[in-house]
């Protein structure tokens, strides 16, 4: 089913581990967000998306492309929980990434 959200947490954890080994201190915030408890899955997806965006913004030029690619895939999955045009854009991006 194309509308299902793929479990992206293993990829986030892998990216966090790589970022820490690369010496990026901003990975701590992302790690806290990935390990936090949430009352609903939509809240979790929204908070993970925000944390990923903050991390990407904080590490702009110092972030290796391999980590950035993984986090962009994770961000795409968090956007699948959005409504309206954001979800449509996420679905189109997902098709493009998979092809």
Please give the structure tokens belonging to residue 73.
């895939």
Average pLDDT over the chain reads 87
3 is a domain residue: no
How many separate domains does the chain show?
1
- Considering the entire predicted model, what is its pTM? 0.83
- If phi > 0 it is left, if psi is from -120 to 50 it is alpha, else beta; for residue 23 that is left
Mapped onto helix, strand or coil, the DSSP state of residue 37 is coil
Domain residues for the domain of 80 are 9-98
94 is a domain residue: yes
d(CA 4, CA 57): 27
88 is a domain residue: yes
Count of residues for the chain? 99
State pLDDT tens for residues 65-94. Answer: 999 999 998 998 898 887 788 888 888 887
- pLDDT for 60: 86
């Amino acid at each position: 089913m194309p509308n299902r959200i793929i479990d992206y947490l293993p990829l986030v954890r892998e990216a966090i581990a790589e970022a820490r080994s690369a010496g990026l201190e901003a990975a701590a915030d992302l790690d806290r967000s990935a390990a936090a408890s949430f009352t609903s899955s939509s809240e979790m997806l929204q908070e993970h998306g925000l944390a990923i965006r903050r991390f990407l913004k904080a590490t702009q030029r110092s972030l290796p492309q391999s980590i950035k690619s993984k986090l962009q895939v994770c961000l795409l999955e968090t956007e699948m929980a959005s409504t309206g045009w954001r979800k449509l854009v996420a679905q189109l991006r997902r098709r493009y990434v998979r092809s």
